[in-house]
Amino acid sequence: MGSSAQLRRLKPLYQLVVNNILAIVAVPLAAAAVLKAAELGPGEILARLRALRPAHMFLAAFLPAAAAALYHRLRPRAVYLVDYACFRTNPNCRVPFATFLEHSRVWPGFDERSVRFMTRLLERSGLGEETCLPYAQHYIPPSRDLESSRAEAELVIFSAIDDLLAKTKMSPQDIDILVVNCSLFAPTPSFTDMIMHRYKLRKDVRNVHLAGMGCSAGLISVELARNLLQVAPWGAHALVVSTETITPNYYMGQERAMLLPNCLFRMGGAAALLSTNGANARFRLARVVRTLRGAADSAYHCVYQEEDDRGNVGINLSKDLMNIAGDALKANITAMGPLVLPASEQLLFALSFIVRKVLNNRIRPYIPDFRTAFEHFCIHAGGRAVIDELQRSLTLSDEQVEASRMTLHRFGNTSSSSLWYELAYIEAKGRMRRGDRVWMIGFGSGFKCNSAAWECIRPAVNADGPWANCIHRYPVHIPDVLKH
Amino acid sequence: MVFEQEEEPAPGAVHGHRLSTVVPSSVTGEVDYALADADLAFKLHYLRGAYYYPAGDVARGITTKVLKDPMFPWLDDYFPVAGRVRRAEEAEAEGRARRPYIKCNDCGVRIVEAKCNRDMDDWLRDGAPGRLTQLCYDKVLGPELFFSPLLYVQITNFKCGGLALGFSWAHLIGDVASAATCFNKWAQILSGKKPEVTVLTPENKPLQGQSQAGAAAPRCVKQVGPIEDLWIVPAGRDMACYSFHVTEATLKKLQQQGRHAAAAGTFELVSALLWQTVARIRGDVQAVTVVKHDAAARSGRALANEMKVGYVEASGSSPAKTDVAELAALLAKGVVDETAAVAAFPGDVLVYGGAHLTLVDMERVDVYGLEIKGQRPVHVEYGMDGVGEEGAVLVQPNADGRGRVVTAVFPKDEVQSLRAALGSALQVA
């Protein structure tokens, strides 16, 4: 006991030393060099310099300069987030808990068991009374036609983009790259063409629609935009739109594993503007790490769209979703860790790894403290279980997962755009400071786990955004089982 | 509830029903709305009101979304209407059913969209009994109280472009005056006006044990039940609502009959005429129940059952042979008020059509105030569901205010004889 307490007191000192090792080593060396120079005296130094051959002197100057220039050319360009905007939900689309339950009960397509299952699920889901479903899903039964689906997509995407253009004071003609991700609805012409048509974008815009990439597609789009920005002219702008269209995907069958998405998925979307020009940017994109686990059978079939016995199409969520998510997360942070963790944590992790391998496998592995690498965490609000699992694995405090829990409560699972709503929560609460680092973790079908690390340059000036009229009510206490 | 019409609808019938729900725009929270004893006395009755708007520019511009959007803020004010009936955890007294209340859980109001292949003018001219049921979604509370909306709003589009709004309102949440004011407020929000503040205080408090078990029901109502979770009169004869006009000329003629007539009001005259007619058809009707809307006696609460309920007995002479004028005078002066007794009675009762033929005074209810984008309805008729076999008569103002609209809720097999008998009575020039 006493030794571990002592160790804990020594830890900050240890971190200071290891994280600044270069400085700690360089300072004595520099001091030694200065002392030696002082010993020799200026005259002696000049004499030695004149003895050097000009060719050597030229090389001594040229080679380092050339190396530095080459290094700079080969480094990827820094990519910045100029700003982002989330779709603001309309109270006209609100679905209280009681209404959702009544609709499932009243429509004869769902049997007793299914309704009881959905009730139990909703009680424990962590969703609040203000989540929104699209207009077509307020009907009994919900309509899933193409026209309503397009209407929902247009409503969400256009309002998010309008918001973003107003915030950044950009004109649509300034957009050079357009990436849209919407997994479960991809009509022809694509959403990118829909946006082109509505905003009259330029003829030479590089547009890509990513379909079928699941709930983690938001960060996939960001990475794609980043890559396209490397080859576009410097200062190009990339518009990234993440959304999920719920209207066509309501499951009308009775398989319990496929009823989950009905209960959790809600309307939402976000638009973000990325650029290589950091002039007015608010965040800098530090890293994107993507982990794909689809090679394994269980991971591949974990979130699977299929038809049930009666031909109803739905998304089947397997029972070991949590385990697979946990494994994917471990793989992702193993890749992410060396890129973002300070040297002190990496050294401890390496030491613990060696010790376990060499000495005793029963010693608990050292879990790197990611709070040394990030100030804020945005965990995909896939469901209460996902957030609980991640809080446990990463040993995060309640305040650090608050953004995820509150987003799940207020907006439900908005799929790929939930990370942006969580970022908006943190900013609306005024917790973002210049220099703060944010870690976004997304999960999705595949099974994929994608992370992005951002660094804040300029926090938001006010709470304007999707949380504007309700942030004062948050955080709320979310009961384990909702009384109704 | 119809989801997909595979067959052709019957010609002229209302078809293509699509259901959806509208909820309050903000979260109400954990609020319970207590039902007063007077409210519970009316729990077996349902108002059915149809408002007709003519074809034209205004009706053309009205989509479902235009009608739905103002409902969200409207239900913020009227959040009990969006709630559902629950029973209290424990019974008040031994042997009594657990007391119902309204859980304001934002479950919402049901909206029904339907179509009709006829022109609205033809529809109105026909005067078919039972047309009200087609325009107002025919549902009651139960068998699952948890999932039974208190209000249905049906939007029916006619072939000519005319529009009918049908409201199915559970009487327990408020009387016809409360209902009409509630709907008018929605129309005000639709027109962009800011309506008056909705007052839902003071909170309803149940009367403290004022009647003993085993006491007989008041004379003007009939005891039924005990009613479990399906709140409708046990099946007897099929009822139908039949609406007809009483013209200004007829009213004048009625007023000129006899010396008593001038003293009696229009409601008394019209209902006396109906009383006499029904007495002639049935052999006799010695007493009637009278339900009147008394503006002076109202507390100002937005949702309340505050109509005065009483009965009138025709002592001595048979109403079939009495003058309309004399009956009218009797109705004006001879009402025995039993409002408090009805509220205090612990059992389940039928007020309308229970013990006697029931006459309902809706003269002062402002139904024509429901203007959609400045357009007043051309016709409004209010009927009722859950009426007992004795029948009910609702006397309402008509569009220009000088004549009257009367809706008679009678057993289907009596409606024809009533129509015939009235035909001659109203034919007076």
CB contact B162 to A (< 8 Å): no
pLDDT higher than threshold 70 for residue B5: no
CA B94 – CA A383 distance, rounded (Å):
46
Task: Check whether residue B167 and residue B232 sit in a common domain.
Answer: no
Using CA atoms in the order B144, B148, B150, B153, what is the torsion angle rounded to 10 degrees? -150
CB contact B81 to A (< 8 Å): no
pLDDT tens for A272-285 read 999 999 999 999 99
In a domain, B398, yes or no: yes
The count of other CB atoms within 10 Å of the CB of residue B239 is: 25
CA A383 – CA A400 distance, rounded (Å):
16
pLDDT higher than threshold 60 for residue A24: yes
Task: Check whether residue B139 and residue B70 sit in a common domain.
Answer: yes
CA B421 – CA B394 distance, rounded (Å):
18
pLDDT of the residue at B93: 72
Contacts of A106 in chain B (CB under 8 A): 1, 19, 147
Residue B303 tokens read as: 């949702």
Q: Which residues, 6+ apart, have CB-to-CB distance to B72 below 8 Å?
A: A91, A92, A94, B22, B23, B24, B25
Q: How many CB pairs under 8 A join A and B?
A: 57
Q: Which of B191, B212, B237 marks a domain boundary? A: B191
B25 contacts B75 by C-beta, under 8 angstroms: yes
Tokens 């006493």 found at: A2
**Distance from B220 to chain A by nearest Cα, in Å?**
37
pLDDT tens for B114-125 read 999 999 999 998
pLDDT of the residue at B358: 94
The alpha helices in A372-473, defined as continuous H runs, are 384-393, 398-411, 418-428
Q: Which one-letter amino acid corresponds to residue A73?
A: R
In a domain, B2, yes or no: no
Total number of domains constituting chain B: 2
Q: Nearest 5°: phi and psi at B404?
A: -135, 155
Contacts of B66 in chain A (CB under 8 A): none
In a domain, B365, yes or no: yes
In a domain, B362, yes or no: yes
| Whether residue B397 has a cis bond before it, omega within 30° of 0 | no
CA B114 – CA B16 distance, rounded (Å):
5
Q: What ipTM describes this predicted complex?
A: 0.90
B411 contacts B237 by C-beta, under 8 angstroms: yes
Q: Which of A312, A254, A140 is nearest to B137 (CA)?
A: A140
Sign of CA dihedral B318, B319, B321, B327: positive
Helix axes A42-51, A21-40, angle to 10 degrees: 100
Q: Tell me the CA distances in angstroms from A423 to A380, A403, A419, one per residue in order.
A: 11, 7, 6
In a domain, B217, yes or no: no
Task: Check whether residue B133 and residue B230 sit in a common domain.
Answer: no
| Beta-bridge partners for B52 | B164, B379
In a domain, B239, yes or no: yes
Give the pLDDT band (50/70/90) at residue A2: low
Q: Which residues, 6+ apart, have CB-to-CB distance to B192 below 8 Å?
A: none
Task: Check whether residue B182 and residue B237 sit in a common domain.
Answer: no
Task: Check whether residue B180 and residue B246 sit in a common domain.
Answer: no
In a domain, B73, yes or no: yes
Task: Check whether residue B299 and residue B161 sit in a common domain.
Answer: no
CA B226 – CA B223 distance, rounded (Å):
9
Domains of chain A: 2-74 (no CATH), 79-473 (3.40.47.10)
Q: Which of B355, B225, B231 is nearest to B287 (CA)?
A: B355
Task: Check whether residue B246 and residue B134 sit in a common domain.
Answer: no
pLDDT tens for A186-224 read 999 999 999 999 999 999 999 999 999 999 999 999 999
CA B11 – CA B410 distance, rounded (Å):
25
CB contact B148 to A (< 8 Å): no
In a domain, B135, yes or no: yes
**Residue ranges making up the domain that contains B349:** 222-428
| Beta-bridge partners for B382 | B49
Residue B374: is it exposed, middle or buried by C-beta count within 10 angstroms (0-12/13-18/19+)?
A: exposed
> Cβ separation of B21 and A130 shorter than 8 Å?
no
Q: Which of B318, B315, B308, B331 is nearest to B261 (CA)?
A: B331
Contacts of B114 in chain A (CB under 8 A): none
**Distance from A402 to chain B by nearest Cα, in Å?**
21
| Beta-bridge partners for B14 | B116
CB contact B108 to A (< 8 Å): yes
Domain CATH number, residue B183: 3.30.559.10
**Distance from A99 to chain B by nearest Cα, in Å?**
5
Task: Check whether residue B48 and residue B108 sit in a common domain.
Answer: yes
> Cβ separation of A99 and B23 shorter than 8 Å?
yes
Task: Check whether residue B391 and residue B247 sit in a common domain.
Answer: yes
CA A332 – CA A221 distance, rounded (Å):
18
Exposure string over B156-179, b if 16+ CB within 10 A, otherwise e: bbbebbbbbbbbbbbbbbbbbbbb
Task: Check whether residue B362 and residue B423 sit in a common domain.
Answer: yes
Minimal Cβ distance to B18: which of A128, A139, A484 = A139
pLDDT of the residue at B1: 45
CA B54 – CA B60 distance, rounded (Å):
10
Give the pLDDT band (50/70/90) at residue B259: low
Task: Check whether residue B155 and residue B230 sit in a common domain.
Answer: no
> Cβ separation of B105 and A96 shorter than 8 Å?
yes
Q: For chain A, what percent of residues have pLDDT higher than 70?
A: 99
| Beta-bridge partners for A242 | A181, A270
Task: Check whether residue B143 and residue B274 sit in a common domain.
Answer: no
pLDDT higher than threshold 50 for residue B428: no
